[in-house]
Amino acid sequence: MEKEVIAALEKQATHELFAAQSYLAMAYWSEVRQYSGFAKFFHLQVAEEHEHAGKILKFLADRDVVPTIGPVESPRNTFAGLLEVARWAYDLERANTAGIHAAYETALRAKDYPSQVMLHWFISEQVEEEAWSDKLVVKVQEATCAGALSSLDRHVMKELRGSEEESD
């Protein structure tokens, strides 16, 4: 594999790990504020982001590259309220999309077809990730009183993941 492609994929794997750490901070912020539904939702995001990092690292290993795993910055853990949390999630996802697109461009330039195909999965995944995080911002904006926020907290799984699972 070409060096630039390896570096681009390693960088993206580190982005995914940063996203995981960020959702972990958001999960505990939510827990402290008694938003148990959001806490559970963000913990699921932690697991998903770890899986994303794992997909890239496994791909590198399959191509005989021992990946360099970069240091992960300490994530943001202070938010004025749930709306700031939602906006931060949206910003994170947008930044992640930009990172994936940059990695894809590197793979295109290098004519690295396997990396391009692997990244196709991430490109469509990011469409979903931006969709739920955008919806999260809208839903939190619409919940203008404490009652509406606690109702959203109870139904956040269903709202954002379409799952029947709800927090109790």
Residue numbers at the binding site for Fe ion (CB under 5 A): 16, 49, 52, 129
* Residue placing its CB nearer to Fe ion in the complex, 82 or 89: 89
Minimum distance from residue 112 beta carbon to Fe ion (Å): 20
Which of 129, 153 has the CB closer to Fe ion?
Answer: 129
Closest residue to Fe ion in the complex (CB) = 52
Q: How far is the CB of 96 from Fe ion (least distance, A)?
A: 5
To Fe ion, the closest distance from the beta carbon of 21 in angstroms equals 12
Amino acid at 74: S
Nearer to Fe ion, 52 or 139 (CB): 52
Assess contact for 22 and 75: CB atoms under 8 A: yes
- β strands within the chain, DSSP E: none
CA distance to 24, 118, 154, 161, per residue, from 5 (Å):
29, 12, 43, 33
Residue 158 CB, nearest distance to Fe ion (Å)?
19
Looking at the Cβ atoms of 30 and 149, the one nearer to Fe ion is 30
CA distance 161 to 16: 20
Residue 25 tokens, joined? 């901070």
Closer CB to Fe ion, 45 or 116, in the complex: 45
State which amino acid sits at residue 77: N
CA 128 to chain centre: 10
Residue of 82, 116, 93, 85 whose CA lies nearest to 8: 116
